[in-house]
Amino acid sequence: MKKNIYSLLTVLLLITISMSNNLSNLNAKENFSAEQLNSLHRLSDIQVSPDGKWILYSLSTPNIEENRSYRDLHLISIDGKEKKQLTSSPENEYDAVWFPDGKHILYIVRKNEKSNIIKLNIDTKQEETLYSDEQSLSNLKVSPDKKYLSFTKDIKLRQASADIYPDLAKAKVRMYSKLPVRHWDHWLDVTNSHLFIYNIENKSLKDLIEGEQYDVPVPPFGGKEQICWSPDSKEIAYTSKKVFDIAESTNNDVFVYSVQDGSTKNISSQMFGADFAPLYSPDGKWIAFLSQRRAGFESDRIRLMLYDRKTENISELSSSLDQWVGQVVWAPDSKSIYLSAEDGPVVQVYQMELPSGKWKVISEGRVNYDGELNISPDGKTIVVGRRDMMHPTDIYSFPAKGGAATQLTNVNEETYKNLKPIEIRERWIQSRDRKKVHCWVIYPPDFDSTKKYPMLTYCQGGPQSTISQYFSFRWNFYLMASQGYVVLAPNRRGMPGFGQDWCDAITGDWGGLPMQDILYATDEMLKEPYIDKSKVAAVGASAGGYAVFWLAGNHEKRFSALIAHSGVFNMISKYGSTEELWFPNWEYGGPYWENDEFYNKNSPHKFADNWDTPILIITGENDFRVPYSQALEAFTVAQLKRIPSKLITFPEENHWILKPQNAVLWQREFYDFLKKYCLKEK
């Protein structure tokens, strides 16, 4: 009898243990992986419907196996309670916009070797093709009166070699008689991107800058935010850089085209920095636009300007805000403007009154509200994309008068419910000249201060680009920490968010105090008992790659491994091979034959004799901003000095690694190198 009872108890105990283990497995959390990072849904193009009932957005999903992404269109009600998926096809729908009736959306899809503008009923899913073109179309908008579409496409404006020499039609050649000859990731060809208006009723098409060898919008990053219809549909404003010295100038201007008489007016002709992103007020009295005062300086403070359409006077509304203005949206009553801008190391939403320019922050939390900024037609609700270092963009809303935010979407919920969280702290350190430097410190999952951890000193690119609460699909702090590293990310001199003087401080001093900020921050963290001083690496891209190359010759044994992606190694050769010369002209103080003092003092190649640390060097062969030859020069140094080193080049990538399989490979190589030379695992 007792034997049977003991047997029964044993069975029950084993069942209990098994159930406990199963429950434990169900609740088990895992560390974030490169494969998970590169499989996350990516939300963008947030737009509130004209009737205020719905929010339209795009959702792009990478497929690592197929090495591509799929983009579909979705709706969510403004209260977050109802969802609709509008499209689900192998083709990628893009540039979706609301039709003014609030019952339809328009989008572009490439199908049957044509770009098609589709009008879709959001209730019945009935489709109508409004326009088709063999050329690729972009930047779709619709006039408020529903009569016109506007979009951009490439137009041939110069002769190709086959036009000049028809008997040599098979010759492969590029010929140029002025700069630039290439831009961002492509060689310039015989075309320019032009803005068109299409009359839906009579099906006529009008090129607004016919015959002009300029682009609308301004490449490489300009989009449909550089184009705007007036409320009465009688005008369309756009941004273009209509100058001779395109490679040396930042002088974008705002132009206004009259639909009625075909005339064009440059409303910012007396402003010689970059002017862009025009936005008509709902009452039609104003055009708000963004502007940088100093010519040739891409990182000057971005101001919010007001153009009075009646008097043609221009004034700055944001003069009391020492931050860069980002997204902008008018209040429906035209009495104030809502905008996103940095507030130290985070991005907040501000309300700015007209005409005083008085402003206040209306969002809450140490996160980034930097997705597409919207306001409901009744003026009561702000809708915006929000992200942080652990989470990519989701849609949030909060009262326009200010208050707590409500999360409306959670597009990656299934992935995140199984992931271990990390801890993110803010810290201020004192640099060499006793200035305070803001730093982010990101800790691994299950951090234990009694243990020892390796550390990554992250060097930001830009150089004028804040380390804020952003979520990067490349330099991802969540992923770095999940591999067991403490990550130090200092907002060294040269970064916006801390006033324009702090941002300006890197110009002409790349290898000076900004590098000391990084070194002093590293030294401060090395005092922590939980940091293993023998396992510290410096990593970064672009201007951050420059920092890594500079540190390679100046770090005095602080680092055991280095990783530089698309970094500037030789400022002299970089000057002669980059495409936008206004950048080195401003940052370096002109070409090397006029200012050799800067190049001798700041170029990393001048310190190559001190190199002695294992280094991984990565580049994209279509990167024309920091040409891949910079990586080749640096790798040659490392190899000839017999330093453990590795070079990785991506033939189809530019300054960024974008294709899913390339991105995963990049991450694997990144962490494998750190394991071998930072963690010293064989």
Residue 315 and residue 287 in contact, taking contact as beta carbons nearer than 8 Å: no
Whole-angstrom distance, CA of residue 255 vs CA of residue 209: 11
Give catalytic status of residue 623 as yes or no.
yes
Whole-angstrom distance, CA of residue 559 vs CA of residue 547: 13
- From residue 2, how far is each of 14, 76, 152, 350, 395 by CA, in Å? 18, 64, 86, 76, 63
- Cα–Cα–Cα angle for 681, 635, 620, rounded to 5 degrees: 95
Give catalytic status of residue 645 as yes or no.
no
Among the listed residues 373, 386, 375, 393, the one whose alpha carbon sits nearest the alpha carbon of residue 59: 393
Whole-angstrom distance, CA of residue 467 vs CA of residue 550: 20
Whole-angstrom distance, CA of residue 235 vs CA of residue 249: 27
User: Using the 8-state DSSP alphabet, how is residue 420 labeled?
Assistant: P
Q: Report phi then psi at 342, rounded to 5.
A: -70, 150
Whole-angstrom distance, CA of residue 441 vs CA of residue 456: 10
Crossing angle of helices 513-526 and 543-552, in 10° steps, is 70
Length of the chain: 682
Whole-angstrom distance, CA of residue 621 vs CA of residue 630: 11
Whole-angstrom distance, CA of residue 242 vs CA of residue 230: 22
Whole-angstrom distance, CA of residue 390 vs CA of residue 417: 13
Strands 486-490 and 453-459, by their bridges, are parallel
Strands (E), 400-556: 406-407, 423-430, 436-443, 453-459, 486-490, 531-541
Residue type, 246: I
- Cα–Cα–Cα angle for 471, 474, 477, rounded to 5 degrees: 50
Residue corresponding to tokens 């990084």? 518
Among the listed residues 61, 189, 212, 194, the one whose alpha carbon sits nearest the alpha carbon of residue 133: 194
- Pick the catalytic residue from 115, 542, 560, 566: 542
Give catalytic status of residue 655 as yes or no.
yes
- Pick the catalytic residue from 281, 391, 623, 645: 623
- From residue 460, how far is each of 278, 380, 517 by CA, in Å? 30, 37, 12
> CA 586, 589, 590, 592 torsion: positive or negative?
negative
- Pick the catalytic residue from 74, 391, 555, 655: 655
Residues annotated catalytic, as ranges: 542, 623, 655
